[in-house]
């Protein structure tokens, strides 16, 4: 799924058009994802033409304070801090520390070297599913998507890959996308994220940082997603029960999401 050609926001994507089986697809223009919006130009045609009504910011308080969102014209902001609980328990997790870690190879090696990086991201992905703040945040997102009269909605974190990637996985799974489509959509951000972080990766390696460690920090890999999916399976048995019981989203909201966000495939 290629990124939309916006210059003022990285990793901007429309889930619309993705196949859902049975001759259905995701409705274009209603659910979008991106990286942070601190440089967004509301007047840029590629942004203004989307008509975004709601922005859901999945970042921590520190991230929001450092780089506040600039909103599309007429949009309202909903804060849904996925990692608030995980932060309180374990300190700022790597998904929320990318820029700090990429400027300090010694710090990155200390916290994430020697194979620790993938384990750290796997723990974070499990927290998306099981922590109170994770459940509250993804419940808020789905509630917005299923609200009567809802318009185009964009959700994002910092790089638009981890917290945002799990949000896309939940939405697509609810809509009936198969495992291959969900996984392909999740992995499709790698090119855009590497482009956005290329200067920082070059600086990291120039200071002696491990390039493989840098790529594991800024990219997404199948085992990160697998950790969250396993957490769903172990705790709830299915995505449907995770949404109903884990997130507390009523069935009527889920049905409205499906009605709004699916169309006949073209």
Q: List, for residues 223-259, the tens digit of each pLDDT value.
A: 999 999 999 999 999 999 999 999 999 999 999 999 9
Q: What would the pLDDT profile of 129-160 be if each residue is shown by its tens digit?
A: 999 999 999 999 999 999 998 999 999 999 99
The Cα angle at residue 125 between residues 72 and 188, in degrees rounded to 5:
60
Q: Taking a C-beta distance cutoff of 8 angstroms, is the pair 83, 96 a contact?
A: yes
**Tokens 């997130």 belong to residue:** 247
For the chain, what is the mean pLDDT? 93
Rounded Cα distance between 53 and 68, Å, is 18
Task: Kindly report the pTM of this predicted structure.
Answer: 0.94
The answer for residues whose C-beta is within 8 angstroms of residue 169's C-beta and 6 or more apart is 182, 185, 186, 225, 228, 229
pLDDT bin (cut points 50, 70, 90) of residue 42 is very high
User: In the predicted model, is pLDDT for residue 1 greater than 80?
Assistant: no
């Amino acid at each position: 799924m290629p990124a939309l050609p916006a210059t003022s926001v990285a990793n901007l994507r429309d889930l619309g058009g993705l196949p859902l089986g049975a001759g259905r697809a995701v409705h274009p223009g209603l659910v979008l994802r991106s990286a942070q919006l601190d440089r967004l130009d509301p007047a840029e045609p590629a942004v203004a033409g989307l008509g975004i009504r709601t922005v859901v910011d999945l970042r921590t308080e520190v991230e929001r304070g450092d780089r506040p969102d600039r909103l599309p014209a007429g949009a309202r902001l909903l804060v849904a801090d996925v990692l608030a609980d995980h932060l309180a328990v374990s300190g700022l997790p790597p998904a929320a520390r990318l820029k700090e870690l990429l400027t300090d190879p010694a710090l990155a090696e200390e916290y994430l070297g020697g194979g620790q990086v993938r384990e750290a991201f796997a723990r974070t992905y499990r927290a998306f599913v099981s922590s109170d703040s994770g459940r509250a945040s993804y419940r808020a997102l789905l509630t917005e998507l299923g609200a009567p009269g809802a318009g185009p909605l964009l959700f994002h974190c910092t790089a638009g890959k981890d917290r945002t990637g799990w949000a896309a996985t939940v939405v697509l799974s609810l809509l009936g996308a198969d495992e291959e489509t969900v996984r392909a959509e999740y992995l499709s951000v790698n090119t855009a994220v590497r482009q956005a972080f290329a200067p920082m990766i070059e600086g990291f390696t120039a200071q002696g940082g491990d390039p493989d460690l840098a790529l594991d920090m800024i990219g997404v890999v199948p085992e990160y997603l697998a950790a969250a999916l396993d957490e769903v399976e172990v705790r709830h048995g299915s995505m449907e029960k995770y949404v109903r019981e884990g997130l507390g989203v009523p069935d009527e909201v889920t049905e409205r999401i499906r009605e709004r966000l699916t169309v006949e495939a073209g």
